[in-house]
Structure 1
Amino acid sequence: MTSPTATGTCPFHTAGGEKPVGPLPYYRDTLYAEQAAARAEMPVYYVPDLDYWVVTKYEDCFRILNDHEHFNSVNVAERPVPLHPDAIKILQEGGFAPEPSQASLSAPRHTRIRNAMNSILNVKTFLPLEPQIRALTVEMLDRFEGRNRVDLLEELTYELPAHVIFLILGIPSKDVQAVKTWAGNRTVIDFSPSTTEQQIDGAKNLVAYWKYIKALVQDRLENPRDDFTSRLLEWRNGDDGILTLNEIATLTYSLSFAGHETTTNQLTNLIRELMHQRAAWDAICADPKQIPNVIEEGLRLDGSVIHWRRTVIKDTELSGVALPAGARLMMSFAAANRDPDQFPEPDLLDPARKNARKQLTFGHGMHVCHGAALARLEMKVVLEELTKRYPDMHLAADKPVDHLLSYVFRAATALWVDLGPKAG
């Protein structure tokens, strides 16, 4: 799906003589240039169509992520389009009942749940997975043998992160496609402007998704294994004051989505950017030790999360703009991560950039992404194997890249490449 043409783009204007109005924040290839202009001319601007204030400067976004006195995350999961009553009825009758996600919670409940998550999702859990991640990657790349043109999204970056996170969740390989399809439906109705038809179809899939997760939790309650859900149940130890069964189902549901969709998008975005910025691609082909910092640069330049939301809870000011309690904010990581005050030559993917890890794509502070270390590990393995096999890989010139219509995610619908001769 192609993103819409932005309205209200530069030069900026005011709504009702008061609010500075700027470009729509949906992803398109012109988004970064538009946000750069906004950051220079009016770093906090209003989008009437969405009733959101977009915040573009790094220092402002960093403050929002860490200032819990003036901002909270209650609106993180707010849908762009309210659900149609028929879709709501399907969800209600289907027993769809996940609780607010951890991303939208505040202390002390957030602290209680985060402690449980931190006990399981950590480097000690992720690092032993590297041989399996590499084996999966090699197996997928072996399918390219004898071919030149492939869609990397369809044949590599779409399924690999799902297989990895499902190793942690204990979801069998035979269910990967179904869960990925359900997750894709969730993306459409939770993070994109959806039609009534999409909402009806999405609601049916969400019910199936939720029932699958509930059945998985019940099975692990009766038959514990060495997986994420079983370990949450062990942490709970029968005490609802630690975690309820519905909270465990919600956490499993959330991880089965966030644990692969964002990594799929990030891998795809990074590879596409490296194809455009050949010097960086050639650098990691020659010296794989530069890959970790290139990953940080990819997270900065082409993050899978382009905007994230907060609500003002106490009157405050950002970049000279007064914001009342109740105002809804959209932190533009797409703009903040390219703020020249933080990152000189911000549009350059620089393998040697010393502060690349300051990127905000994984968030910061109490809401920083649990799976950041796993995503970095997956991207490292994929880039190591791709550069080793296909150093001459290029984008297919006659295959333009379209993206999902979303102001939350940068999500390509395909990534066609010409592999070139296999090295060695």
Structure 2
Amino acid sequence: MTTATQPNQSGAGSCPFHAAGEPPVAPNGCPVSPQAAGFDPFDRPYQLDPAEALRWSREQEPVFYSPRLGYWVVSRYADIKAIFRDNLTFSPSIALEKITPSSDEALAVLERYDYGMHRTLVNEDEPAHMARRRELLDAFTPEVLEAHAPMVRQLVREKLDAIIDRGRADLVAEMFWEVPLTVALHFLGVPEEDMEQLRRFSVAHTLNTWGRPSPEQQVEVAEGVGKFWQYSGQVLRKMQSQPRGHGWMYDMIEKNRQKPDVVTDSYLHSMMMAIIVAAHETTALATANAFRQLLSRPAVWAELCDNPELIPAAAEECLRHSGSVVAWRRIATRDAEVGGVTIPEGGRILMVTASGNHDPAHFENPDELDIYRDNAVDHLTFGYGSHQCMGKNLGRMEMRIFLEEFTRRLPQLELEEQEFTFLPNTSFRGPEALWVRWDPAQNPERRDPAVREAQRDFPVGAPEARTIVRRVRVTRAETEAEGVLGVTLADPAGRDLPAWSPGSHLDVVLPSGEARKYSLCGPATSGDWQVAVLREEAGRGGSRWVHDTVREGIELRVRGPKNHFRLDETADRYVLVAGGIGITPIIAMADRLKQLGKSYELHYAGRSRASMALLARLERDHDEALRLYSKEEGARLDLASLLATPRESTLLYGCGPERLLSALEAGSAHWPEGSLHVEHFTAEGALLDPEHEHAFEVELADSELVVEVAADRTLLQSLRAAGVDVPSDCEEGLCGSCQVEVIEGEIDHRDKVLTASERAGQDRLMSCCSRAKGKKLKLAL
């Protein structure tokens, strides 16, 4: 299923807030709203929950200027992702700039230690960034990282062995802080005798860069940073004096000898210090956040213990819901528009990724911790684009091993009541302590010693969306209309199923492993999920299986909910058009519009009243807005008349047979661009046909790579094989998740997502199905 739509456009450089009097004024001349003027990331609300603290921004003012901080704050997912993608307009050069400028006394301390931190991958501009990044990537491939898993497992197991019979522990102090740091030092190849000293120094770096230390604290912090710099240099020189060793730093030392102009001496020192901090703190804090969130939801923790195959998905969802990286920074190299607001050249930007990860425009029911969420991997915690975290898969591996060991060996773990504290800073977040308790007498390995060794390993990399499957119980399966089966699904444990938004659908997994998509039709507030399935004898067999097999009491496997047909709630009026079973998402939209008090009309066409699903509910709940067209009764939906005159501030939503959608697209061609939103159910013409394809190559402008796309491979498959992360969902050209920007080349469009004008623009394609008409495409990847 898919939606064909245009994003809502606001005027270039417009002011989102207008005020009388003399409010503070942003650098672009716009007045600053009271909420923006009052925003301070060092206040308690942001420090406790950055996403919640910026809910007002996501809803009302997604790009605002903070006078207290001197930064433009960006809070919505799409805007943050757009900034990450354009690292020329939005330079990362200030990513490690101190939020609080150093005092003269602190600078003197750093000078005494000959502190000279140079730019690293985090804050380096092009072309130097990609030239160095390519030299450093080999150690981060899944195959190489896999070799580190036994070492990580051993460290976690040893720490768990030390506390397992105790019954109470602070997991941060006794496990989560030390293990990721030891892993980072092993990964670098740091000699064992130097590990303890480097552990002591690493914490000062976070407060120095992203915190607001007092003048007295600045001097103390500068001492720690200076000692860290000095000692890491000594360790580096010791490693350089050895002929060869094992670890990433030894690889870089060799690169330094081979390409001293790319991997310079000063770069080696800076990267060693940066990697220790990055690989340590982000993983330590992310793991603490994950255990805090999971243990604060005992039912979710129990579900994870019962279904350990969900651990990769749960780790990813925790990274989305409560990741350790809260924000990143950029600086505008020219006047640039973000979310309808002009950020002037030189404007400093704080992208609050924690807020973007809770954006309901991208994540369904975003405040829920849903370990079945199949698009959690879209989160921004690792960044995005050419500056995405290289060590993301090492961090994922560590989190999964922690979770796997604890769910297997201490499933009875409980979170103690406690007040959580955080190191005050803008960008990294995790509890300073995490007290837990358990009854050692209930330890499974006391009954079965084999439990200690019965580990489950997971492939390195992001979790596959298709492996995240939820079991639901059928509580109702009754005829809804001729040939239509109404099915109600509930949680087997009796809990409410996650909320969803109009336009959402489920993937129902068949015994063959294939999935079929069915729209949720509501009511949305019932705590269960309801779908209506039309039996299609000429279909691919999914609907026949549902009709023949699904009965009350059986369990089904589903994925989702997912929403690629999202309702834009900002218009004044709506025209809803449904044909046949296409009523299923449309009725949910009508329910929502009625709830919002919006003006809407609903046109529903079908073969006969007897075959029209959900008719009784429609007539009960939407009678005044409803227009029915029964072919059997001679009533005909006249789209030409309905769409003859474009209506101001009106959106069109349609779902049904392909002929209806084609007619809607043709009939609304003279309406304003973006007025029509339609949902397709079939991928006809989109799937790969190797016998009739030709090979082509794609040049990746951001990555400076050339990827060959064979006749029997999709562009999406080829990009992933080259190590390029591209999100996807349906992989049939229906959802739009895998869209990539095209810089040059003629496109063979095969999706059901883009409008005719978007296709004519030749500036984007869906990588799961579309191809090059010629021999080459150039992509912004």
Structure 2 length-normalised TM? 0.51
Residue number in structure 1 paired with 2:89? 70
Q: How do 1:15-30 and structure 2 match up within 5 A?
A: 15-16=24-25, 18-20=31-33, 21-22=35-36, 23-26=39-42, 27-30=46-49
Matched, 1:35 2:54: yes
Residue number in structure 1 paired with 2:151? 132
Shift in CA distance, 92/12, structure 1 to aligned 2, threshold 3 Å: farther
State the AA in 1 paired with 2:413. M
Residues 272-317 of structure 1, C-alpha deviations (whole Å, 9 max, x = no match): 0101233332221011110101111011010101111011112122
Out of 444, 456, 460, the residue aligned to residue 423 of structure 1 is 444
Out of 165, 169, 180, the residue aligned to residue 150 of structure 1 is 169
Residues 221-262 of structure 1, C-alpha deviations (whole Å, 9 max, x = no match): 220211222111112225421311111111111111111111
Q: How do 1:337-416 and structure 2 match up within 5 A?
A: 337-397=357-417, 399-416=418-435
Residues 368-403 of structure 1, C-alpha deviations (whole Å, 9 max, x = no match): 001100000000100000111211212111x21111
Residue number in structure 1 paired with 2:482? none
Residue number in structure 1 paired with 2:109? 90
Q: In 1, Cα distance between the equivalents of 2:381 and 2:246?
A: 30
State the AA in 2 paired with 1:164. V
Shift in CA distance, 360/28, structure 1 to aligned 2, threshold 3 Å: same
Q: How do 1:200-349 and structure 2 match up within 5 A?
A: 200-223=219-242, 224-349=244-369
| Equivalent position SS for 1:156 | helix
Kindly tell me the number of residue pairs found equivalent between the two proteins: 413
Q: In 1, Cα distance between the equivalents of 2:275 and 2:104?
A: 27
How big is the shift at 1:197?
2.1
| Equivalent position SS for 1:119 | helix
How big is the shift at 1:12?
12
Residue number in structure 2 paired with 1:57? 76
**Contact in 2 for aligned 1:188/1:198 (Cα 8 Å):** no
Shift in CA distance, 191/122, structure 1 to aligned 2, threshold 3 Å: same
Identify which range, 363-372 or 230-239, moves more after superposition.
230-239
Q: In 1, Cα distance between the equivalents of 2:320 and 2:18?
A: 26
Residue number in structure 2 paired with 1:109? 128
**Contact in 2 for aligned 1:402/1:414 (Cα 8 Å):** yes
Q: In 1, Cα distance between the equivalents of 2:63 and 2:311?
A: 34
- Larger strand proportion, structure 1 or 2? 2
How big is the shift at 1:149?
1.7
Q: In 1, Cα distance between the equivalents of 2:332 and 2:444?
A: 54
Q: In 2, Cα distance between the equivalents of 1:277 and 1:104?
A: 38
Identify which range, 117-126 or 341-350, moves more after superposition.
117-126
State the AA in 2 paired with 1:116. E
How big is the shift at 1:129?
1.1
How big is the shift at 1:318?
1.8
RMSD: 1.8
| Equivalent position SS for 2:172 | helix
Q: In 2, Cα distance between the equivalents of 1:111 and 1:29?
A: 36
Identify which range, 213-222 or 79-88, moves more after superposition.
213-222
Residues 144-163 of structure 1, C-alpha deviations (whole Å, 9 max, x = no match): 13312210000010100011
Identify which range, 239-248 or 298-307, moves more after superposition.
239-248
Residues 28-77 of structure 1, C-alpha deviations (whole Å, 9 max, x = no match): 33432221221001111221111011101100000000013421111111
Residue number in structure 1 paired with 2:590? none
Structure 1 length-normalised TM? 0.93
State the AA in 1 paired with 2:372. A
Runs of 4+ that moved beyond 3 A = 11-14, 172-177
Identify which range, 257-266 or 214-223, moves more after superposition.
214-223
How big is the shift at 1:173?
4.2
| Equivalent position SS for 2:144 | helix
Residue number in structure 1 paired with 2:677? none
State the AA in 2 paired with 1:423. P
Q: In 2, Cα distance between the equivalents of 1:419 and 1:177?
A: 30
Q: How do 1:151-230 and structure 2 match up within 5 A?
A: 151-223=170-242, 224-230=244-250
Residues 89-148 of structure 1, C-alpha deviations (whole Å, 9 max, x = no match): 121122111212221111111012111211223323311111111111110001113312
Structure ID, larger Rg:
2
Identify which range, 121-130 or 370-379, moves more after superposition.
121-130
State the AA in 1 paired with 2:24. A
State the AA in 1 paired with 2:444. A
Please, which runs of 5 or more residues in structure 2 have no aligned partner?
A: 1-16, 446-781
State the AA in 1 paired with 2:41. P
Aligned-pair identity in percent equals: 29
Higher relative contact order, structure no. (Cα contacts within 8 Å, ≥ 6 residues apart)? 1
State the AA in 1 paired with 2:31. E
